[in-house]
Amino acid sequence: MALNKMVDMVEHQVIAAVRHEEELGKVAASRVNVVFLMTGTIGNLHLLVNQIKDSGRRVFIHMDFIEGIASDRSGVHYIATELKPDGILTTRSHLIGMAKENGLMAIQRLFLIDSTAIRNGLKAVNSSGADAVEIMPGVMPKVIHELTEKTDLPIIAGGLIRSEEEVMEALEAGALAVSVGSETLWQMQL
C-alpha cells in the first residue's frame, strides 16, 4: 500500500529539490507537485512547509539539512505533529522507522559510489521500511535499471542531473521520478 501511495503521489516526474527559501516562489509557478525541502530552521520551517502545502504541492523535509531540529525520535515527532509534511527524506536509516511510527512517509537517500555501496544500500533500504529510495548521483541509468530489478520500492534519481536528456535517461531506466534543483527542469513537459 505504501508503494502505491508514493507512486500515486508523483504526478509530475520532476521533483523540486529546494535548497534556498527564495526558490519557493519559482516552485509555485512550476509544474512540479512534489518538493524536497532541503533548507530551513526550527524558526521558519513551519512557514516554509505551509507555503509549499498552500501551493497544492506535497512536501518532504530533508532531515539532514534542517537547522535546530535533531535527527532523533523527538525531532521526527516534532516534524510529524507540528509541521505535518507528507514525509521526510534522509540518509539515516534509523529515522525511517521513526517517521513511519509517526504517520509520515519516508524516503531513504543513498549515495552509490561502488558495488559495495549498492549492496549495503539495498540491505539498508530493505530493512528500513522506506516508501521509496533516492539514489545519488542520478546520472547512472545502468544502476537505476539494476536497482529497479532488485527492489520493489520506487526509485527516485537525484544529484548531478542538469539536462532534460539526463532526466529522460533516468526515467527510461526505470526511475519513478527525478529530483533536481534546476528551476528550468521543474518546467519540463513530461
Write the Ramachandran bin of 149: left for phi over 0, alpha for psi from -120 to 50, otherwise beta. alpha
pLDDT at 1: 39
CATH code assigned at 54: 3.20.20.70
pTM for this prediction: 0.94
pLDDT of residue 19: 97
How many structural domains is the chain composed of? 1
Q: Tell me which H or E stretch contains 15.
A: strand 14-18
Residue ranges in the chain modelled with pLDDT below 50: 1-2
- Show the CA angle centred on residue 73, arms to residues 103 and 49, nearest 5°: 55
The domain containing residue 10 runs over which residues? 2-187
